[in-house]
Structure 1
Amino acid sequence: MKVINLLVGGPTANYPADLTQRAGDWVGADRGALRLVQRGITPKMVVGDFDSIDQQEFATVKAAFEGSVIVKPDQDHTDTQLAVKSIFERYAPDELHIYGATGGRLDHLLANVWLVLDPFFRRWAPKIKLIDRQNTVQYFLPGEYQLEKEADKRYLAFVPLMPMHLTLPDELYQLAAAHNDYPISWASNEFVGTSGHLSFDQGVLAVIQSCDAQPTD
């Protein structure tokens, strides 16, 4: 399976502890490119308008690799959107794992979570995951699916992003064709065992596997 990892500009405190050991090639968006280089990771592509790093930092990024530099031509798209588009068009990965997309500014968080609602990006929704220290967000298009539990996660949330009828037949808290007219988070559900099933008829569904934060003291 071909995996591409994308690091965007969110707070480093939200990174998984094993970020640098994640399998797959890396792409950096704006400040994410600098953070990859600082961690000894050579990205195969960097993307953005680079307004969050200075000229010396940008020179450091360019000197660290020989791949593509894609400069965002306008403000109609976010750095993350341009990176996602460029990754799928150039590399056609089976999965795209996005890091640094959570925490910090709420407008950035919402733009990242809602990215797959844009019809242009929706075709890639099932291949995209947002990953941080506590959460994995994955997206589904209408159909029937089996979910596998991540070993370090306890909780499940089902988030209809568009109107749909959602069925959860074998989770701890079940639903039978429950209709939602607006986005809602069916939060704090759990697996019964190591897998579960879901089905829905239309729209886009986000599923979040999460764990409680570990104490820092």
Structure 2
Amino acid sequence: MMEQLVNILVGGPMTEWPENLIKGEIKGTWIAVDKGAIRLLNMGITPKIAVGDFDSTFDSEMDIVKKEIKQIELFPPEKDFTDTQIGVMTAIKHFPNSKIDIYGATGGRMDHLLANLFLPLDPQFKDVIKQINIIDNKNTIKFYTPGEYEIIKEVDKKYLAFVNLTSVTGLTLPDEKYTLQNFNSSYPVSWASNEFSKEINHFSFEKGIMAVIQSKD
């Protein structure tokens, strides 16, 4: 059975969007968060669900959102969750077991970027960590729990980074350009600017949560 793809658009700057999003070429179901709703509609894409407090959406834009999108879930401006968390919570609720690609989550305010990078550490998302991806015009970020993995090189990406978001035990990079054996750390470390040695590389670790980033200049 083919895995369902759910795309989430949050309110980061459009300058960070990948080209296929700008061209409207991304397949799958869309969830729009706040400003993402009017942005998708302006591109001719109607999201399945729009969520948020819509505090960054003008009244005239909100009128269009209400007219075009059938399912809107409103949240109060003072809330305990970030926009991206709300988007992921909505995806889990309505489309369980789906692959979740998040756009508009980088660039702009640094506090928003850090909140998005740390999102997989939230206990409520522990069962969906490996379903979540953050994508922009230069990076694809995937998240991992302990285990052994293979990584397939994206055709337009050169660099590969391994970032332990928590303490980590036994991090091993056996066949990347720069290898690593049984690395342990009690604090986050970014093993940046590594590269693939072939189209498919591997890594493993025994404890912690890892972000793996494929990047281009």
Normalised-by-shorter TM-score class: over 0.9
Partner residue, 2:10: 8
2:50–2:69 CA contact under 8 A, matched in 1: no
Partner amino acid, structure 2, of 1:181? S
**8 Å Cα contact 2:4-2:99 kept in structure 1:** yes
Counterpart among 64, 72, 84 of residue 68 in structure 2: 64
User: Which residue does 2:165 correspond to in 1?
Assistant: 161
Q: Which residue type is aligned with residue 193 of structure 1?
A: K
1:215 aligned residue: none
Q: What is the match of residue 84 of structure 2? A: 80
Superposition RMSD in Å: 0.9
Cα deviation, residue 93, structure 1: 4.2
Cα distance, 1:58–1:93 mapped onto 2, change above 3 Å: farther
Give the secondary structure class of the aligned counterpart of 1:176: strand
How far has the Cα of 1:47 moved from its partner? 0.6
Aligned counterpart, 2:156: 152
CA contact 2:161–2:193 (8 Å) conserved in 1: yes
- Return 5+ residue gaps in structure 1 as ranges: 213-217
- TM-score, normalised with respect to structure 1: 0.95
**Matched residues in 1 for 2:48 and 2:143: separation?**
25
Q: Aligned to 1:27, which of 25, 31, 39?
A: 31
CA distance in 2, matches of 1:93, 1:60: 31
| Matched residue, 2:183 | 178
Q: Structure 1 residue aligned with 2:43, among 24, 39, 42? A: 39
SS in 1 for 2:137: coil
Question: Over residues 154-174 of structure 1, what are the superposed CA-to-partner deviations in whole Å (9 max), with x where a residue is unaligned?
Answer: 000000001112100000001
State whether residues 156 and 187 of structure 1, in contact with CA within 8 Å, keep that contact through their aligned partners in structure 2.
yes
Q: Which residue type is aligned with residue 17 of structure 1? A: E
CA distance, structure 1, for counterparts of residue 62 and residue 186 of structure 2: 45
Q: Is the 8 A contact 2:11 2:105 kept in 1?
A: yes
How many percent identity over aligned positions?
A: 48
| Structure 2 portions without partners, runs of 5+ | none
Could you list the structure 1 runs, at least 4 aligned residues long, displaced by more than 3 angstroms after superposition: none
Contact preservation (8 Å) 1:4, 1:93: no
The C-alpha deviation readout for 1:54-113, integer Å capped at 9, x for no partner, is 2111111121222x2111144111121111111111111431000000000001101111
CA contact (8 A) 1:3 1:93 kept: no
Q: Distance in 2 between matches of 1:202 and 1:55?
A: 48
Matched residues in 2 for 1:111 and 1:150: separation? 25
Cα distance in 1 between the residues matched to 2:120 and 2:53: 22
TM-score, normalised with respect to structure 2: 0.95
Structure 2 residue corresponding to 1:122, chosen from 112, 123, 126: 126
State the distance in 2 between where 1:94 and 1:84 align: 11
For 2:184 and 2:11, the matched residues in 1 are separated by 36
Distance 1:133 1:203 in 2: 28
